Structure 1
Amino acid sequence: MFKLRGHHLFCLLGYRGMGYSEEYVENMTRLHRTLRENPKIKIQLVKGPDQLCEKYPNSGIYHCQDDNIYERDAAILEKLGLTIGQIVVWEDIELRIRRFIVPSDIQRVCESCSWRSYGVCEEGIQEILDGKGLREVK
């Protein structure tokens, strides 16, 4: 079972093998690949730093504890109808994305995210809506 915070559910959709450090990318790629290959894996939704935050580089400012990040987590969980502490399988998260999310939600919910300008999260949501699942990352 993986422990993930709210906004990382969207980050996984847009993930294309880029990240904050080599260690972070390796961790994210491993988790992403596992979810893609085994969509029945369980996810426990947590408040605050999760298994991806564990590999965030120690470069001074630790954004994983930033108030804006907590607000983004809460907004995404609310849109998906999920709560902290809940355990769901990844395929149920994809189902909720298909039911409750549209690509343009990224512009509002993730407005302050530095990765938003790449447009990959909207693409990831569209691929879920099209029934393609998570994009393969090599």
Structure 2
Amino acid sequence: MFKLRGHHLFCLLGYQGMGYSRDYVENMTQLHQTLRDQPETWIQLIEGPDQLCAKYPNSGEYHCHDQHITARDHVILEKLGLIIGQMIKWKDIEASIRNNVVPSDIQTVCETCSWRSYGVCEEGIQNILEGKGLRKVQ
């Protein structure tokens, strides 16, 4: 089981092996690959820093406690019809994405995210909508 905050559900969709540091990338890749290969994996939705935040590099501002990030978590969970504390399988999160999200939602929900300009999150959502699941990370 993994513990994840709301906005990381969207981050996983666009993930392509890039990140803040080598440790962060290794952690994210392992989590991403597990969910891709084992969509029955349980996720507990939590508030605040999660297992991905744990590997955020200790250089500069630690944005994992930022109120804007927390607000994004709540917006994404609300959009998906999910709540903090909920236990849910990754495949059911994907189903919620298929039922409640379109690629253009990234432009507003993740408006201030530094990764948004890459366009990979919209592609990740489209993959879920087409039933392809998470993309393979090289």
> Do they superpose with TM above 0.5?
yes
Segments of 4+ moved more than 6 angstroms:
none
Task: Give runs of aligned pairs for residues 1-138 of structure 1, distance below 5 A.
Answer: 1-138=1-138
What is the Cα deviation at residue 60 of structure 1? 2.1
Which SS does the other structure have where 2:43 is aligned? strand
Give, in angstroms, the shift of residue 117 of structure 1: 0.2
Unaligned runs of 5+ in 2: none
Q: Deviations over 1:44-90 (max 9, x none)?
A: 00000000000000002000011110010000000000000000000
Number of equivalences: 138
2:16 is paired with a residue of what secondary structure?
A: coil
Identity %: 73
CA–CA separation in structure 2 for the residues paired with 1:46 and 1:102 = 24
- How far apart are the structure 2 equivalents of 1:53 and 1:70? 12
* Secondary structure of the structure 2 residue equivalent to 1:32: helix
* Runs of 5+ unmatched residues, structure 1: none
Q: Quote the Cα distance in structure 1 between the aligned partners of 2:126 and 2:60.
A: 35
Q: Following the alignment from structure 1 to structure 2, what is the Cα–Cα distance between the partners of residues 59 and 10? A: 24
> How far apart, in 1, do the equivalents of 2:60 and 2:119 lie?
27
Query: In the alignment, residue 61 of structure 1 is paired with which amino acid?
Result: E
TM-score calculated relative to the size of structure 1: 0.99
SS in structure 2 of the partner of residue 78 of structure 1: helix
Counterpart Cα distance in 2 of 1:11 and 1:91: 16
Counterpart code for 2:68: N
Which letter does structure 2 place at the counterpart of 1:101? V
TM-score w.r.t. length of structure 2: 0.99
The 1-side partners of 2:127 and 2:82 are apart by: 21
CA RMSD of aligned residues (A): 0.4
What are the Cα deviations for residues 83-106 of structure 1, in whole angstroms up to 9, with x where unaligned? 000000000000000000000000
Q: Read off the aligned partner of 1:26 and give its amino acid letter.
A: E
AA at the equivalent of 1:17:
G
